[in-house]
Amino acid sequence: MTTFSNQQEGQLYMDPSETLSDVSQSETTNIQNSRTIVVTSGKGGVGKTTATANLGMSIARLGYRVALIDADIGLRNLDLLLGLENRILYTAMDILDGQCRLDQALIRDKRWKNLSLLSISKNRQRYNVTRKNMENLVKSIASLGYQFVLVDCPAGIDVGFINAISPAQEALIVTTPEITAIRDADRVAGLLEANGIYNVKLLVNRVRPDMIQRNDMMSVRDVQEMLGIPLLGAIPEDNHVIISTNRGEPLVLKKKLTLSGIAFENAARRLIGKQDYFIDLTTPYKGVFQKVQQIFFG
C-alpha cells in the first residue's frame, strides 16, 4: 500500500521518507482522481464541522466515496455529528504508532458505507502529526479509492492548521456574515494562498434573511464581495442544525429536508460540479427557496 510500509507482518505504519515509486498503477490513478478539500475558517465556531459532516454526507449520497478527516484536535466533534462517537477505537495517532492499520481507523458510516471518518487524535496532548504524516495519510486514503477527502480543519490561527492544510489542493472557507468572522476569513484566505492553495471557495453560514431585510445583517453578496472569494453556497440559520447535532444525524439525511438541509445539498452538488447555482428545481421547497434566494442575493 502507498506510503505505508510494513513494520511487522500485517501492521502498517507511515514512513515519511517513503516515496510513491512503489505505488501500483491503479493506486496512482485513484490518487490522481481524488480531491482533497480542507474546510476551514478564521474564527472558531462558525460551522466548519457542521459543513464537513453535511457536505460529506451529501456527496456520499450522490454516490461518491468520501473520507472525512477530523483534524480539529481538542474540538473533536465530527464523530458526534455523524453519530459515530462510540465506534472510534483507533485514530491516526495509533496508525503512526504502529498500533493499527489505516482501514481499522477509518470508521464507516452506519447508513452510507461509502462515507468514512478518520480522527487524527483523541486528545490534544497526543498531537504530533507532521505535514508529511498528513500528506501520506491522505495519499493512502486516496489510494484506497476515496474520491473526496474532506478535512475538518482547525481555525486558521490554531496550532495544527498548517499541517492540516498541507495535503489539500482546495479549500472551503466558512464564515458567518459578521464583520469579525469575515476579517478572520480574509486572513485565512491569505494564509491558504501563502501555502499554495489557490482553489478556494466560500460558504456563508448562519444567514438570517429577516435580519438582512432589516439591514441588520450583511447580505451574502456583500460578504462575498468583501472577501473576493467565489461563493459555494449560503446556509441559513436554522435550529434544526442544533437538533441534528444532538441526534448525530446530518441534516441532509432528513426525509423532509429543512431549508438548511437543502442549502447544504445544493452546496455539495456545486462542489462536485453537478449543479450550477441553486438547488434542484424539482424540490417541493422551490417557492420557499427562491424567495430566500432573492433575499440572500438581492
Which residues of this chain interact with ligand ADP, rule CB under 6 A? 41, 44-50, 205-206, 235, 237-238, 241-242, 245, 260
- Residues 281 and 88 sit within 8 Å (Cβ to Cβ): no
Distance from the Cα of residue 96 to its chain's centroid: 22
By a kind-dependent CB cut-off of 5 to 8 A, residue 260 interacts, out of ligand ADP, Mg ion, none, with ligand ADP
**Residue 200 is placed in which grid cell?**
478556494
By a kind-dependent CB cut-off of 5 to 8 A, residue 147 interacts, out of ligand ADP, Mg ion, none, with none
Nearer to ligand ADP, 53 or 115 (CB): 53
Q: How far is the CB of 229 from ligand ADP (least distance, A)?
A: 17
List of residues contacting Mg ion (CB under 5 A): 48-49, 72, 75
From the list 267, 265, 258, the residue with the least C-alpha distance to 288 is 258
Q: What is the dihedral of CA 224, 215, 206, 182, to 10 degrees?
A: 40
Write the single-letter amino acid at 276. D
CB-closest chain residue to Mg ion: 49
By a kind-dependent CB cut-off of 5 to 8 A, residue 42 interacts, out of ligand ADP, Mg ion, none, with none
Nearer to ligand ADP, 137 or 173 (CB): 173
By a kind-dependent CB cut-off of 5 to 8 A, residue 3 interacts, out of ligand ADP, Mg ion, none, with none
Rounded Cα distance, 243 and 258, in Å: 12
For residues 143-161, b (16+ Cβ closer than 10 Å) or e, as one string?
bbbbbbbbbbbbbbebebb
Q: How far is the CB of 75 from Mg ion (least distance, A)?
A: 5
